[in-house]
């Protein structure tokens, strides 16, 4: 069982790395990741049905260390999808407030589960036969309330709590990095751009700006090709005072439209060439 689990985890890691390269945004990547992780967990569950544990020690090892490696990724991606899909588009203060609120939620979970957190992080084992063996419940040990897929044959009272601890650490790192990036962007704007008295508003169709958004991202013109599509989208929305909505879905509509895939970019090229030609004639 443990050998199969390790092979499955390696295959999952490889698939997630490939999905990261093929995705246009964190939201799209998270959606695809969730599907891949769920398939992997199902394979793990089905294998366990036909390959029972050989000992209690093996069962404890699986539910304390192996299964949480999979389910922590699922929790992390689900929470990341919620965080990014609900993230405000507005000012620095609005985004900062939102991200700090998400960090506070993680801190609340830590405070509510401090006893088990200390037990797990200190490497203790004296309660493992109660925490990580199936069908063993003791109400005095604070049963886990974060059970998204409880199955008595595939769950213990606390394996998902371990997964939540691991996922929360990943989320904390992500949120802190997002706050640092937000602060850095604010500094860059204040340093290099005092800001015009009158803001430019985008008055062309939103689809045109989304076409431009994906063109800029595809060309890798920001941060040495390291800027994500969501970052660029937030910049354009803030700079031009427009809400692009579900730009990923609009891009899919642009991709399959019969009138042409790059109408706006083609128009830009046409108008620029005409201007150059006019300048040549005037010269």
- Per-residue pLDDT tens over the stretch 145-158: 444 456 778 999 89
**Residues 139 and 31 both lie in one domain:** yes
Q: Find the domain containing 114 and state its range.
A: 2-192
Residue 255 falls within a domain, yes or no? yes
Q: Has residue 124 got a pLDDT over 90?
A: yes
Q: How far apart (Å, rounded) are the C-alpha atoms in residues 36 and 18?
A: 11
- Give residue-wise pLDDT tens across range 220-249: 898 878 788 888 888 888 888 888 888 888
Residue 29 falls within a domain, yes or no? yes
Confidence of residue 25 (pLDDT cuts 50, 70, 90): confident
Residue 201 falls within a domain, yes or no? no
Q: How far apart (Å, rounded) are the C-alpha atoms in residues 145 and 170?
A: 20
Q: Has residue 134 got a pLDDT over 50?
A: yes
**Residues 183 and 255 both lie in one domain:** no
**Residues 99 and 124 both lie in one domain:** yes
- Per-residue confidence (pLDDT) for residue 142, from 0 to 100: 54
Residue 185 falls within a domain, yes or no? yes
From 160, 192, 224, the end of a domain falls on 192
Q: How far is CA 262 from the centre of its chain?
A: 29
**Residues 212 and 186 both lie in one domain:** no
- Per-residue confidence (pLDDT) for residue 257, from 0 to 100: 84
**Residues 222 and 116 both lie in one domain:** no
Counting Cβ atoms within 10 Å, is residue 206 exposed (0-12), middle (13-18) or buried (19+)?
middle
- Per-residue confidence (pLDDT) for residue 44, from 0 to 100: 93
**Residues 45 and 146 both lie in one domain:** yes
More confidently predicted of 31 and 282: 31
Q: Has residue 104 got a pLDDT over 80?
A: yes
CA distances from 208 to 13, 231, 251 (A): 37, 18, 10
From 192, 220, 250, the end of a domain falls on 192
**Residues 15 and 39 both lie in one domain:** yes
Residue 109 falls within a domain, yes or no? yes
Confidence of residue 89 (pLDDT cuts 50, 70, 90): confident
How many domains does the chain contain in total?
A: 2
* DSSP string computed for the chain: -HHHHHHHHHHHHHHHHHHHHH-SSHHHHHHHHHHHHHHHHHHHHHHHHHS--SSHHHHHHIIIIIHHHHHHHHHHHHHHHHHHHS---S-HHHHHHHHHHHHHHHHHHHHHTHHHHHHHHTT--TTHHHHSSTT---GGG---S--SS--TTT--SSHHHHHHHHHHHHHHHHHHHHHHHHHHHHHHHHHH----SS-----S-HHHHHHHHHHHHHHT-SGGGT--HHHHHHHHHHHHT----SHHHHHHHHHH-TT-S-HHHHHHHHHHHHHHHHHHHH-
Give CA torsion, residues 156, 160, 162, 164, to 10 deg.
Answer: -170
Residue 111 falls within a domain, yes or no? yes
Q: How far apart (Å, rounded) are the C-alpha atoms in residues 231 and 220?
A: 12
**Residues 139 and 40 both lie in one domain:** yes
- Per-residue confidence (pLDDT) for residue 144, from 0 to 100: 52
Confidence of residue 139 (pLDDT cuts 50, 70, 90): low
**Mean pLDDT, range 242-259, rounded to an integer:** 85
**Residues 108 and 26 both lie in one domain:** yes
Residue 197 falls within a domain, yes or no? no
Tell me, yes or no, if the pTM score tops 0.95.
no
- Per-residue confidence (pLDDT) for residue 145, from 0 to 100: 47
**Residues 125 and 148 both lie in one domain:** yes
**Residues 51 and 116 both lie in one domain:** yes
Q: Has residue 39 got a pLDDT over 80?
A: yes
Residue 200 falls within a domain, yes or no? no
Q: Has residue 53 got a pLDDT over 50?
A: yes
**Residues 76 and 182 both lie in one domain:** yes
From 192, 219, 252, the end of a domain falls on 192
**Mean pLDDT, range 241-261, rounded to an integer:** 85
More confidently predicted of 126 and 140: 126
């Amino acid at each position: 069982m443990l050998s199969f689990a390790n092979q499955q985890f390696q295959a999952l890691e490889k698939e997630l790395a490939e999905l990261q390269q093929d995705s246009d945004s964190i939201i799209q990547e998270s959606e695809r990741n969730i599907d891949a992780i769920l398939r992997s967990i199902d394979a793990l569950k089905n294998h366990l049905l036909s390959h029972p544990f050989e000992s209690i020690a093996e069962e404890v090892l699986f539910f304390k260390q192996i299964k949480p490696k999979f389910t922590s990724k699922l929790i992390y991606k689900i929470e990341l999808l919620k965080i990014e899909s609900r993230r405000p588009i507005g000012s620095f203060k609005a985004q900062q407030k939102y991200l700090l609120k998400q960090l506070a939620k993680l801190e609340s979970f830590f405070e509510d589960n401090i006893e088990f957190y200390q037990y797990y992080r200190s490497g203790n084992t004296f309660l493992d036969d109660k925490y990580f063996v199936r069908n063993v419940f003791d109400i005095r040990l604070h049963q886990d309330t974060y059970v998204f897929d409880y199955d008595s044959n595939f769950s213990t009272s606390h394996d998902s709590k371990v997964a939540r601890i691991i996922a929360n650490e990943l989320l904390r790192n992500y949120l802190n990095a997002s706050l640092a990036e937000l602060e850095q962007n604010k500094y860059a704007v204040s340093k290099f751009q005092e800001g015009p008295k009158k803001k430019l508003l985008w008055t062309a169709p939103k689809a045109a700006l989304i076409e431009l958004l994906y063109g800029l991202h595809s060309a890798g013109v920001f941060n040495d090709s390291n800027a994500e599509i969501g970052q660029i989208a937030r910049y354009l929305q803030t700079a031009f005072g427009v809400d692009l909505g579900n730009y990923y879905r609009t891009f899919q509509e642009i991709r399959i439209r019969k009138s042409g895939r790059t109408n706006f970019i083609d128009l830009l090229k046409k108008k620029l060439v005409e201007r150059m030609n006019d300048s040549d004639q005037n010269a």
